[in-house]
């Protein structure tokens, strides 16, 4: 059955009117289809195709337009103000505002850079997670004369997450700020930084706005050449724009199958702040039981607290497109842009889904989440066999800075290939969701030929171009081009195997320009790292933190493992004077556990070849331990390493050594020709 619609038609009504027992094809003409609540596709609606105009001009829009702009002045400057409808105000604020498709900035103090806390309460005493809703600021960092302090939001950066903390009170005598939400991390001065947003007195520059929560008005200094009365001025007012709902939490296999979404643009969704809990805070009663598979019931002492962040990767935030219990579906040629949450969430009971030639851009959260039930849960709620190919994920993490480009949680057998992921503040691709050596659902994931770059941007810590976690037999990371990963304090790595990473192969990746190391293993077992290029990484080419003394969640009899890491045939190119290896603990590179040979070294330092603990080993001392006895120092013969061109010259020494040609990675990583949106 074919139904053709225009922007004046009701999409939900058209779907409801169609017969259930036959396939339905909706053709949406070019235009803006306004949504005031999520479009929900029920389990009974199998064989549905929704197709937009080929040029992407079919837009599903959850925005609320601001009209009636009035000229005024603020802080001695010309400005405009407009009333914000109640439905566009979330938690007493407006954290997103767009003009002609360009995200405007909230007023911020200080204008540039961040501040350092003076003291955190309660004291952390070495603990990683501490419920924190107050800290002392330095004198002058918070002005008690600021207008509407209850409307000011403190953005606190702690290690690998951010917390958005609405101000509750300020004790001017003690310089102590208190907040209406909790941070999971303490505001320790060593690793914490912060700034303030939505400060009236800081509204001074074109392209900035301030929301007056008392009058429910938005004040704005437009960019040069933008007229408020003629501009498309928008505040997102809807959370999820589309929900593919294959049967709720029952998630019976195949309840919603055969769905095709083609050439659709989703815009101005992801409204408001989403709180942590066992179910996503989607703001719609029809979707109230949508479980968040990342939530852990044992996350005491945070249960019952209004936490401002998740423990990692902004996983408390849902997506503009939600799917659960969905099989045999495809999303192609679609655009998700100008939204506040993740773009797409493929949840429990979903499999055999393809996401191709899509663009995720200007998002408050990350791009794509793929996660079903944990390994201990029922099999029918497992998620896997999802393909994400030839997609661009860019300019994301604009609100939830710790969001990942692609996040694979409890999911198996996924293929992530030929994507371009760039301009985020945290990890590019994250895979796995079990710390230590516990059983997990993630396995057999393939991550290859992706171009991943410009991550971190010195905002957060502890991230990787590709981040891996937990036991994942069969997972392979290959032919990725990863560069320019920069952290604030520590942890800017191209490839990162975190706690308990095991049984994975990382090969033929080209990794350079990281602010710490090209590769880092926290602790893990029996991983293979081979035929990669690690070049011009600031600390060292490769780092490893711990050995097999780390046994977290290993509960079986006998020794956990013997070997932690195998390095073979890699190229390590370092700037003069820099070490090639770093090991935080000597046990991590014990000859019984660690293996490294047949590698190629250039530059760096033979005198400070490896740092083990606080000591440096010479190349001879390193080899005396049994490492790299067959490895070679040679000029690899790259075309122009100073310009980061790692193609091989015709007479390259690596060709004579039968090293796999990196041109395969350099030339083919990213979106394939003709596959763009």
What percent of the chain is helix, strand and coil (3-state, nearest 5)?
5, 40, 55
Q: Rounded to an integer, what distance in angstroms lies between the CA atom of residue 646 and that of residue 643?
A: 9
Strand duo 260-262 + 192-197: pairing: unpaired
pLDDT value, residue 297: 60
Query: How would residue 277 be classed by pLDDT, with cut points 50, 70 and 90?
Result: confident
Q: Which string of DSSP letters, residue by residue, matches 258-325?
A: --EEES-EEES---S----SSB---S-GGGTT-B-TT--TT-TTSTTS-BSS-SSTTTT--EEEEEES
96 pLDDT higher than 60 = yes
Give pLDDT tens digits for 255-265: 799 999 999 99
pLDDT value, residue 250: 52
Token pair for 552: 């977290």
Query: How would residue 530 be classed by pLDDT, with cut points 50, 70 and 90?
Result: very high
> Mean pLDDT, to the nearest integer, of 65-92?
97
pLDDT value, residue 295: 86
Query: How would residue 299 be classed by pLDDT, with cut points 50, 70 and 90?
Result: low
CB atoms within 10 A of CB 592: 12
pLDDT value, residue 162: 97
77 pLDDT higher than 70 = yes
Q: Rounded to an integer, what distance in angstroms lies between the CA atom of residue 183 and that of residue 171?
A: 19
In 3D space, the residue among 185, 201, 181 whose CA is nearest the CA of residue 193 turns out to be 185
Q: Rounded to an integer, what distance in angstroms lies between the CA atom of residue 110 and that of residue 5?
A: 49
3-state secondary structure of 620: helix
H/E run at residue 211? strand 208-212
Who's near 514: CB < 8 A, 6+ residues apart?
Answer: 465, 483, 484, 485, 486, 492, 493, 494, 537, 538
Which of 1.10.287, 1.10.3470, 2.40.160, 2.60.40 is the CATH number of 119-201?
2.60.40
pLDDT value, residue 33: 98
pLDDT value, residue 296: 75
The distance of Cα 490 from the centroid of its chain, to the nearest Å, equals 18
**Least confidently predicted of 7-21, 99-113, 456-470:** 7-21
Who's near 76: CB < 8 A, 6+ residues apart?
Answer: none
Strand duo 527-530 + 505-507: pairing: parallel
If 0-12 CB within 10 Å is exposed, 13-18 middle and 19+ buried, where does residue 143 land?
middle
Strands (E), 128-200: 132-136, 153-158, 161-171, 176-183, 192-197
In 3D space, the residue among 514, 398, 400, 535 whose CA is nearest the CA of residue 467 turns out to be 514
Query: How would residue 378 be classed by pLDDT, with cut points 50, 70 and 90?
Result: confident
The CA-based dihedral angle spanning residues 432, 434, 438, 443, taken in that order and rounded to the nearest 10 degrees: -10
**Least confidently predicted of 98-102, 242-246, 247-251, 538-542:** 247-251
Who's near 624: CB < 8 A, 6+ residues apart?
Answer: none
Token pair for 61: 């829009």
CB atoms within 10 A of CB 201: 14
Q: Are the CB atoms for 335 and 265 separated by under 8 Å? A: yes
3-state secondary structure of 202: helix
If 0-12 CB within 10 Å is exposed, 13-18 middle and 19+ buried, where does residue 240 land?
buried
pLDDT value, residue 252: 57
> Mean pLDDT, to the nearest integer, of 43-47?
90
Q: Rounded to an integer, what distance in angstroms lies between the CA atom of residue 218 and that of residue 80?
A: 8
3-state secondary structure of 403: coil
283 pLDDT higher than 90 = no
Who's near 378: CB < 8 A, 6+ residues apart?
Answer: none
> What's the CATH class of domain 1-62+238-424?
mainly beta
pLDDT value, residue 234: 98
Q: How high does pLDDT run on average in the chain?
A: 95
Instruction: Go through the chain and tell me how many residues it has.
Output: 677
Give pLDDT tens digits for 455-472: 999 999 999 999 999 999
Query: How would residue 278 be classed by pLDDT, with cut points 50, 70 and 90?
Result: confident
Give pLDDT tens digits for 114-165: 999 999 999 988 888 899 999 999 999 999 999 999 999 999 999 999 999 9
> Mean pLDDT, to the nearest integer, of 496-521?
98
> Mean pLDDT, to the nearest integer, of 73-102?
97
Give pLDDT tens digits for 399-422: 999 999 999 999 999 999 999 999
pLDDT value, residue 328: 96
Phi, psi angles (nearest 5°) of residue 149: -60, -25
Query: How would residue 66 be classed by pLDDT, with cut points 50, 70 and 90?
Result: very high
Query: If you search the block for the tokens 């600031």, which residue do you land on?
Result: 538
Query: How would residue 551 be classed by pLDDT, with cut points 50, 70 and 90?
Result: confident
Query: How would residue 247 be classed by pLDDT, with cut points 50, 70 and 90?
Result: confident
3-state secondary structure of 118: coil
**Least confidently predicted of 98-112, 293-307, 349-363, 482-496:** 293-307
Q: Which residues make beta-bridge pairs with 324?
A: 245
Q: Rounded to an integer, what distance in angstroms lies between the CA atom of residue 460 and that of residue 515?
A: 12
Phi, psi angles (nearest 5°) of residue 321: -115, 120
Query: How would residue 17 be classed by pLDDT, with cut points 50, 70 and 90?
Result: confident
Buried b / exposed e over 241-256, threshold 16 CB at 10 Å, is bbbbbbbbeebebbbb
């Amino acid at each position: 059955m074919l139904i053709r619609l225009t922007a004046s038609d009701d999409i939900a009504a058209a779907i409801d009117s169609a017969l259930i027992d036959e396939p339905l094809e909706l053709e949406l003409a070019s235009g803006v289809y306004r949504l005031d609540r999520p479009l929900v596709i029920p389990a009974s609606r199998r064989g549905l195709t929704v197709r937009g105009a080929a040029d992407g001009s079919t837009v599903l829009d959850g925005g609320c337009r601001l009209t009636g702009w009035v000229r005024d002045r603020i802080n001695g400057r010309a400005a405009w103000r407009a009333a914000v409808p109640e439905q566009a105000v979330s938690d007493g604020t407006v954290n997103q505002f767009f003009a002609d498709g360009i995200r405007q900035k909230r007023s911020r103090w200080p204008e540039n850079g961040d501040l350092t806390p003076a003291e955190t309460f309660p004291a952390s005493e070495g603990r990683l997670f501490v419920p924190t809703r107050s800290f002392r600021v330095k004198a002058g960092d918070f002005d008690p004369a600021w207008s509407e302090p209850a409307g000011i939001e403190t953005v606190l950066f702690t290690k690998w997450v951010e917390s958005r903390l609405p101000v509750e009170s300020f004790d001017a005598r003690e310089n102590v700020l208190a907040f209406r939400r909790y941070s999971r991390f303490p505001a320790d001065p060593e690793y914490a930084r912060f700034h303030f947003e939505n400060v009236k007195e800081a509204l001074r520059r074109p392209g900035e706005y301030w929301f007056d929560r008392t009058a429910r008005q938005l004040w704005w200094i437009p960019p040069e050449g933008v007229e408020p009365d003629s501009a498309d001025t928008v505040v997102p007012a809807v959370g999820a724009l589309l929900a593919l709902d294959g049967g709720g939490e029952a998630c019976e296999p195949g309840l919603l199958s055969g769905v095709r979404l083609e050439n659709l643009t989703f815009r101005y969704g992801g409204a408001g702040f989403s709180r942590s809990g066992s179910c996503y805070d989607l703001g719609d009663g029809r979707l109230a039981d949508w479980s968040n598979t990342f939530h852990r019931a044992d996350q005491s002492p945070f249960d019952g607290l209004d936490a401002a962040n998740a423990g990692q990767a902004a996983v408390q935030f849902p997506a503009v497109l939600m799917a659960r219990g969905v099989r045999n579906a495809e999303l192609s040629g679609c655009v998700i842009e100008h939204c506040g949450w993740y773009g797409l969430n493929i949840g429990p009971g979903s499999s055999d889904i393809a996401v191709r030639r899509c663009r995720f851009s200007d998002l408050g959260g990350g791009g794509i989440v793929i996660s079903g039930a944990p390994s201990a849960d029922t099999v029918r709620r497992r998620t896997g066999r999802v393909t994400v190919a030839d997609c661009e994920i860019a300019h994301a993490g604009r609100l939830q800075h710790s969001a990942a480009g692609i996040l694979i949680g409890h999911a198996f057998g996924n293929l992530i290939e030929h994507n371009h992921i760039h301009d985020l503040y945290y990890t590019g691709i994250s895979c796995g969701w079990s710390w230590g050596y516990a059983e997990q659902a993630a396995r057999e994931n393939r991550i290859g030929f992706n171009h991943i770059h410009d991550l971190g941007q010195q905002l957060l810590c502890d991230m990787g171009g590709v981040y891996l976690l937990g036991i994942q037999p069969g997972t392979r990371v290959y032919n990725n081009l990863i560069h320019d990963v920069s952290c604030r304090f520590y942890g800017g790595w191209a490839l990162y195997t975190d706690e308990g990473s095991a049984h994975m192969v990382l090969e033929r990746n080209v990794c350079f320009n990281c602010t710490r190391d090209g590769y880092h293993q926290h602790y893990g077992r029996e991983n293979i790292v081979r035929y990669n290029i690690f070049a011009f990484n600031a600390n060292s080419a490769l780092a490893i933190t711990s050995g097999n003394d780390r046994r977290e969640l290993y509960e079986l009899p006998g020794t956990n493992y013997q070997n932690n890491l195998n390095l073979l045939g890699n190229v390590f190119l370092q700037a003069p004077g820099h070490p090639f290896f770093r090991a935080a603990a000597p046990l991590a590179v014990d000859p019984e556990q660690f293996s490294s040979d047949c590698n190629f070294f250039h530059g760096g330092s033979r005198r400070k070849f490896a740092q083990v603990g606080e000591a440096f080993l010479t190349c001879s001392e390193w080899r005396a331990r049994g490492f790299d006895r067959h490895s070679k120092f040679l000029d690899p013969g790259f075309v122009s390493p100073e310009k980061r061109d790692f193609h091989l010259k015709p007479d390259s020494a690596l060709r004579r050594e039968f090293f796999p040609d990196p041109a395969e990675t350099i030339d083919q990583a990213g979106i394939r020709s003709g596959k763009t949106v």
